[in-house]
Amino acid sequence: MRKFVLLFMLITLPVFGSEIIDKRKQLYQKNNDNMKLIYSAISSENFEQVIKSAGEIEAFANKMTDYFPVGSVSRGSSDNIWSDFEGFTKAAKLNSNAAKTLRIAAQDNKLDELNSLFSELSSTCKSCHRSYKN
């Protein structure tokens, strides 16, 4: 089954390769927008916005690795992604967990926790970039 999936990816890559790269870049740009929205939403105590944006970051993090099939090399993607896919997967999971924690704190109206949870979320972006982004 795994062999079949791999073969399937190899066959479809030349067709979908650049599309998937464009798509993931769009989603990362959206992450950036969402981080800015969260930052200002915290100071204006807009819990709904924090919940929405953190939820979107969480959702992308949960399927982030799907956007990196073997061979989908781009200028921004480090070879480490494919030589250490397990580590890359863990980094995406940490990102998802941090976004989830922030989302839940906002749902529970824990205003005093939001700033530090936002910093923690931001550090999971940066730490993945350090190892897996060029």
Question: Does the footprint of ligand HEC cover residue 25 (CB under 6 A)?
Answer: yes
Give the residue with the Cβ less far from ligand HEC, 7 or 29: 29
Give the residue with the Cβ less far from ligand HEC, 32 or 115: 32
Neighbours of 73 (CB within 10 A): 14
Integer angstrom CA distances of residue 105 from 48, 53, 122, 130:
11, 13, 16, 27
> Do residues 134 and 73 make contact, with C-beta atoms less than 8 angstroms apart?
no
> Which span sits near ligand HEC by CB under 6 A: 2-10, 21-29, 42-50, 107-115?
21-29
Question: Does the footprint of ligand HEC cover residue 57 (CB under 6 A)?
Answer: yes
| Token representation of residue 78 | 């480090």
Total binding residues toward ligand HEC, as defined by CB under 6 A? 23
Give the residue with the Cβ less far from ligand HEC, 20 or 113: 20
| Token representation of residue 88 | 């890359």
* Strand, coil or helix: 133: strand
Neighbours of 104 (CB within 10 A): 14
Give me the residue whose beta carbon is nearest to ligand HEC: 76
The residues binding ligand HEC (CB under 6 A) are: 21, 24-25, 28-29, 31-32, 35, 57, 64, 74, 76-77, 88, 91-92, 95, 124-125, 128-129, 132-133
